[in-house]
Structure 1
Amino acid sequence: MSDEIKVPVDEPVPDWASSYNAKEYPRQSVTGDAVALALDTCGARGTVRALLVERGGVPYQGLDAWPGGFMDWDGDEDTRQAAIRELHEETGLQAPEFVEALGSYSRNGRDPRQFAGYRDEATGEWIARGARVTTAAYLMLTARAVEPQPADDAARAHWADVYDYLPWEDLRDERRQASLGSIVQALDGWAHTAPDGVERVRELFGLRDWNEERTAERWALLMEAELVPEARRDVWGRAQRREDDGLFGREMAFDHRQILADALGRVRGKIKYTPAALMALTGPEATLDELQAACEAVAGRPLHRSNFRRAVAPAEHGKSRAPRIVARTGRRRPREGKGPGVAPELYAFLPDAVRARLDTSIRFPWLHLAPEDEGSA
């Protein structure tokens, strides 16, 4: 609906509306970003994939980013609609059923186009032509990573492993834990000079007390220590490179790795108290092994198998206080091939659990990431 239609033609215009001039205020722009995540259970171990586009234009040409863009002044009702529209325009995909607001990002300088302009050759005066950009990000969870088709200003669209961008967040094997140890060593010099640096590194990156939900805080610490290229950018978005940048994962455009860290932390928390979020990733039916693999992929850490089963599907007439989120269907998942073994039983999410937030969150039985007699990493 156009502005002309929205303005009543048969009513007098208020004095304030006639005198107001937006040009008297700093220029602002608003964008919507689609943060779409999907579960990938292919291969020996599952993971979480993010739907990203490779930027075809400047700034950050060639870097991965979330599908998104500026609001359509006339066509978009709000930033949610803008994010959904941009998702379709840049990847060809429709938004899944699970969509919720993730957060608003307005840090000064997050988009280098804020500083666009030129210097007048005659007067030497700087002519500013940019606008400060605020984005609203929307978390979208889906069980199917449908192949995208790049369009608009995206060079390509693809699903990528989130742990390629946040490698320290996946600690399901000793190799990953050793990589985390290298990151802690890189933090050591900074930690001894920053206020409470040693304690903060131990609290956030220590294996013994690892909290998988604190992804945003770990990212903020790496930014503060300037160990990631995003922390070393000039106003035009150009980063100073270091030889060990590869240790800290793949760089993303704008502040989109911060958005990824926020999204991953959000999902890690939601699977504990919002069964709808877990169901969005697995589908309405799954085996208990598939549910465990999904939770491990999201959390980036292993679970105790038998205790996990009791946590999500306790006996109906037992004394367990754990919330039941799934129940037997009486059907089994067909086995691939003709090898020996019993086909696994399918479980379905309980409608009452899916529609509500759990009063008591699920206490996942995480396996220890470090031996009991070891200190923090």
Structure 2
Amino acid sequence: MSETEQAGEEAVGTETLPLDAWHRAKGGRMVEFAGYWMPIQYEGIMAEHLWTRENAGLFDVSHMGQLALSGEGAAQALEALVPGDISALKPGRMRYSLLLNEEGGILDDLMVTNEGDQLGIVVNGAVKWEDIGHLREYLPDDITLNHRDDHGLLALQGPKAVDALARLVPEAAGLVFMQYTRAAWNGHAIGISRSGYTGEDGFEISLPNEALAAFADALCAMDEVKPIGLGARDSLRLEAGLPLYGHDLDEEIDPVEGDLGFAISKRRREEGGFPGAARILGHLEGGAPRKRVGLLVDGKLPVREGAKLFDGNTEIGVVTSGGFAPSVGAPIAMGYVPRDHAVPGTAIAAEVRGKRVHCTVAAMPFVPHRYVRKQGG
């Protein structure tokens, strides 16, 4: 997309995904999300959520930005912008990391993969153009950044995902969580990682746009696979305690406040050298003034994003994500509270339609992750 097209994107209208017609033919109810028409549901959010927990759900996440970084010293160059140890990332391995502003605030969360000859980066669709601009501004001129806009991204998630995908691409079965490999399908070069954003075992598959529909059809022809919409993706990631950028994370929140301290690698904690290091390392040492926490909600009334949180009559924080959790059987939420209110078991209240709803601070995830990890790892 040219700069002129970018500037006029809002005026022109919402973009369509390569699989737009496929989703509509499957009965997908389309909504605007991150600048694209995307399916929010097919059969219903609760049914799709539970299907993914028990079988395999196919999600279209082609709105996300797929980038490729190459050139000598690419890993070291990226390390100047994120707090992860990218240089130590071995070929075929992935790492969750964060693009930071100068104050240590989170510009985006992303996945970095060492693909052998280059680094693959997946960024959030809502801010991908801002991310690309930031990377081009701050990376050295001899580092090449390519936007893979000729590729789509599918996520196959759930306990039966490995059986289904291995019928099409046998190499998938040999991967464990956060591993990547290249493979071929029907003459197309594809990339597969054992990862996802539902808390379930699963895979993300990058493949050329022209191959997306045939690949999706091949998967959905299997008894254990159904297409799943954005609604269930949101409820699944909420149960898994996974933040959504633009809601639970933004430029004002640093990684420690966002409960993402694990993304700051040991070497980077010792050496620093990333944006906002003084603030972030200070919060790691002495504690952040606020923290993202999980909330178990009493009763059946969902507590949504934007609801204010109270300790007695004192406003202490805000809900950033919330809704009914099908696998929990109750409403849950996540939000930000002061450090002294972040201990699991702490009783607080949320304001919903002028009424106070009792909540209890809870450890996340609400539903245990079921990633397939390396034996003994």
- Is the structural similarity TM-score above 0.5? no
Q: Which has the larger radius of gyration?
A: 1
Answer 1 or 2: which has greater strand percent: 2
Answer 1 or 2: which has greater helix percent: 1
Q: TM-score scaled to structure 1, two decimals?
A: 0.29
